[in-house]
């Protein structure tokens, strides 16, 4: 991004936003430099869908909005009594397989800051419908937009 594009983006990222949908899939994010490249100190990725499917993401399904809980916000969310494992329908395991939590996706409202993830703004990342599952277990595209809520600072359980 050039400096003018970055300035315009900063205005859009400043206000707090909320998103309501179904928490279908949750998984630990990869080691990132912003989290000291730690595998233990990581973001939690939440995939929020408009409607709750009864299966993990697969070709033909709509793509989700990505939201992330950071190590710096997870304790406040935990102290509010929110447990992601009680809200998500599926978890992605470290081997990239999907594990059912044994219950349906819960409707939630996530509150946090809008963030434009320009690193994940290519055709392989963004699209309206999942086209394929890679040999590594990832669905492609894997997000509806490069906009995400990151960090999530509060989660309200709506059902």
Q: Does a structural domain hold residue 55?
A: yes
Q: What average pLDDT does range 10-39 have in this prediction?
A: 83
pLDDT of residue 35: 63
Q: Indicate whether 1 belongs to any domain.
A: no
Does a structural domain hold residue 66?
A: yes
- pLDDT tens digits for range 109-133: 999 999 999 999 999 999 999 999 9
Residue 11 included in any domain: no
Q: Are strands 139-140 and 106-116 parallel, antiparallel or unpaired?
A: unpaired
pTM passes above 0.75: yes
91 lies in some domain: yes
Domain housing 113: 16-157
Would 100 be classed as within a structural domain? yes
The conformational region for residue 20 under phi > 0 = left, psi -120 to 50 = alpha, else beta, is: beta
In 3D, which of 86, 82, 68 has the Cα closest to residue 29?
A: 68
Per-residue pLDDT tens over the stretch 72-100? 999 999 999 999 999 999 999 988 889 99
Residue 135 lies inside a defined structural domain of this protein: yes
Considering only 35-39, 86-90, 136-140, 143-147, which range has the smallest mean pLDDT? 35-39
pLDDT band for 42, please (50, 70, 90 cuts): confident
Provide, rounded to the nearest whole percent, the portion of the chain with pLDDT above 90. Answer: 74
Domain count, the chain: 1
Question: Does 56 fall in a domain?
Answer: yes
Whether residue 141 is preceded by a cis peptide bond, meaning omega within 30 degrees of 0, is yes
């Amino acid at each position: 991004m050039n400096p003018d594009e970055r300035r315009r983006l900063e205005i859009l990222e400043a206000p707090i936003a909320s998103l309501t949908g179904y928490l279908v899939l949750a998984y630990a994010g990869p080691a990132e430099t912003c989290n000291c490249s730690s595998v233990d100190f990581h973001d939690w990725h939440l995939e929020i869908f408009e409607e709750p499917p009864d299966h993990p993401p697969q070709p033909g399904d709509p793509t989700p909005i990505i939201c992330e809980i950071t190590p710096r916000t997870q304790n406040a969310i935990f102290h509010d009594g929110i447990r992601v494992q009680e809200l998500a329908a599926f978890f992605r395991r470290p081997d990239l397989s999907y594990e059912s939590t044994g219950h349906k996706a819960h409707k939630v409202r996530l509150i946090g800051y809008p963030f434009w993830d320009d690193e994940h703004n290519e055709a392989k990342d963004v699209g309206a419908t999942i086209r394929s599952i890679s040999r590594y277990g990832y669905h492609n595209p894997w997000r509806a937009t490069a906009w995400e809520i990151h960090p999530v600072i509060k989660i309200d359980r709506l059902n």
